[in-house]
Amino acid sequence: MDQPPNQNPEPGSFGTGQPQPPPPFSCTYAPNIPELLQQMNVSIAISTYQAGKVILISPKNRDELIQLPRNFAKPMGIAVQGQKMAIASLSEVVILGNAPGLAKDYPRQPDTYDFFYTPRATYFTGEVDIHDLEWGNEGLWAINTSFSCLSIINDDFSFTPKWQPSFISGLAPEDRCHLNGVAFEHGEPRYVTALGATDTPGGWRENKATGGILIDLQSNEIILEGLPMPHSPRIYNDQLYLLLSGTGEIVRVNTTTRKYDILKGLNGFVRGMDRYGDYLFIALSKLRTTSKAFQDLPVSEKSAFAGIVVMYLPTASTVGYIKYEASVDEIFDVCVLPGTTRPGLLNTLKPEYKMGISLPETSFWAIPQKPPEHTENKS
C-alpha cells in the first residue's frame, strides 16, 4: 500500500501524556524535493536490510512525496538497467521487469502506476552476503562479500567467481576483507572497495575504522589505503567518486596521483550513492550506539538520521534531504529510477505476483482458480 510520508507529523499523546510515536516509515523532507523529482521525471529506490524493505519514493505532486514499501529478506544491492531491476536479498537475487500493461488493471490500484516492476526470475545464490550489484557487458555482477570475490549471477551455478584480490589466498565463505563496492567503466568492473587487505576470517574487523582500501582491477593494485570504511565507488563523467562511511565524507579520487579531494562531509554513515544529471543522491544511516561494528567510528557521535541527501555536484552543495522519523535506521543502497514518477513494485512474498501475465503485445491478470470440491460417495 502506498504511504504518504508526513512532512509535519501531528504530535499526539497516550494516556500517560507521552508523545505519540510517528507512524511506521514516516519521514520529513525539504520542501523542494517533490518538485525536484517531478522536474527530473524520476523516482528513488532505497534498500534497508535493517527494516527488510525496498522502498520506492516518488513525487505525488509538486509539494508531496509518496512511498511504496515492499518486503524483502535483507535487501542490499539494487541494479537498474532499462526496464529491469535486480535486488540482492538474503539468499537470492530477484529480477523484476516493467509491465505497464499490468499496471493499468492492477486489481489493488488500477490506473495508478506509470511503471510496474513485476518478478521475472529468481537466482538462488545461497547466503553469500551480496553487497553492490550491477549489470555489465557479461551480465549481472555482484560483490560477493562472504567469498571475497566479484561474481557473475546467472542460472549456471549459485554464482561464478570472476575475480579476487591478490592478497586473498582461497575461495571460502569467511568474509576475509569485507569486499563491498564496485565501480564500472564501459560495462566492465574497474575499481572495488574493501575494509581491509586481510586474508583471515573476519580479519578486517580489527582495523575497520582506518583499514579500508581501493583496488584498481586493471593493475590489480591497491591505489588507496588507510581509508575510513570506503563504500559505493562510482564513475561519473570519467571521474571516480566514493563514500568514506567512517567519516561521512564524499570524495573524488585522482587515480593518477592516488590522492583524493573531500567534496563534502555529512553527519551520518554514508553508504549508497547514485547520480542523475548534476545531482548525487547519497544514502545516510543512523548508527546504532550499541553496535560493536559502528560505535568506535569518528562519525558515530554525530550520526543524526537515516535518509537521503541530494547534492548538486558542480558546487558540492546540499539542495535537499529526506529524513526518516521511524522504522528506517540503516540504508544500504539508493538507486534513481528514470522516466517514472509513480512506480509500482511486486515482490514474491505474496501470491498476487503469480496472477500477472505479461506478454510482448498484451497483459492479463489471471483469475485464481478455486480448488475442486471433494464429494464423498454416499452409495
pLDDT given at position 293: 64
| Whole-number Å distance between alpha carbons of 59 and 134 | 26
**Domain count for the chain:** 1
Evaluate whether residue 379 is within a structural domain.
no
Q: What angle do CA 81, 106, 89 make, to 5 degrees?
A: 45
pLDDT given at position 21: 84
Provide, rounded to the nearest whole percent, the portion of the chain with pLDDT above 90.
86
Mean pLDDT of the chain: 92
Judge whether 136 and 185 are in contact, CB under 8 Å.
no
Judge whether 308 and 44 are in contact, CB under 8 Å.
yes
Evaluate whether residue 356 is within a structural domain.
no
Q: Are strands 343-345 and 115-124 parallel, antiparallel or unpaired?
A: parallel
Evaluate whether residue 293 is within a structural domain.
yes
Which amino acid belongs to residue 296? D
Question: Does the pLDDT at position 234 exceed 90?
Answer: yes
Tell me the pLDDT tens digit for each residue of 290-299. Answer: 666 666 777 8
Question: Does the pLDDT at position 7 exceed 80?
Answer: no
pLDDT given at position 15: 37
Judge whether 212 and 226 are in contact, CB under 8 Å.
yes
Q: How confident is the model at residue 287 (pLDDT cuts 50, 70, 90)?
A: confident
Judge whether 140 and 153 are in contact, CB under 8 Å.
yes
Tell me the pLDDT tens digit for each residue of 296-351. Answer: 777 877 778 999 999 999 999 999 999 999 999 999 999 999 999 999 999 999 99
Question: Does the pLDDT at position 377 exceed 70?
Answer: no
Q: Comparing C-alpha atoms, which of 234, 230, 264 is closest to residue 336?
A: 234
| CA 238, chain centre distance (Å) | 23
Question: Does the pLDDT at position 201 exceed 70?
Answer: yes
Which amino acid belongs to residue 141? W
Provide, rounded to the nearest whole percent, the portion of the chain with pLDDT above 70.
89
* Residues whose CB falls within 8 Å of the CB of residue 10, separated by 6 or more in sequence, listed in order: none
Evaluate whether residue 371 is within a structural domain.
no
Evaluate whether residue 89 is within a structural domain.
yes
Evaluate whether residue 340 is within a structural domain.
yes
pTM of the model: 0.92
Q: How confident is the model at residue 227 (pLDDT cuts 50, 70, 90)?
A: very high
* Residues whose CB falls within 8 Å of the CB of residue 268, separated by 6 or more in sequence, listed in order: 248, 284, 285, 286, 287, 299, 302, 303, 304, 305, 306
Which residue range(s) make up the domain with 301? 27-349
Evaluate whether residue 9 is within a structural domain.
no
| Whole-number Å distance between alpha carbons of 158 and 146 | 13
> What CATH number is given to the structural domain containing 203?
2.120.10.30
Q: How confident is the model at residue 374 (pLDDT cuts 50, 70, 90)?
A: low
> Computed over its alpha carbons, how large is the radius of gyration of the chain?
22
Question: Does the pLDDT at position 14 exceed 60?
Answer: no
| Whole-number Å distance between alpha carbons of 251 and 240 | 9
Helix (H), strand (E) counts: the chain: 2, 28
pLDDT given at position 371: 65
> What burial class does residue 197 get, using C-beta atoms within 10 Å of its C-beta: 0-12 exposed, 13-18 middle, 19+ buried?
buried
Tell me the pLDDT tens digit for each residue of 356-368. Answer: 999 999 999 997 6
Cell of 222: 591497491
pLDDT given at position 12: 29
Quick one: average pLDDT of 136-165?
98
**pLDDT: which is higher, 42 or 288:** 42
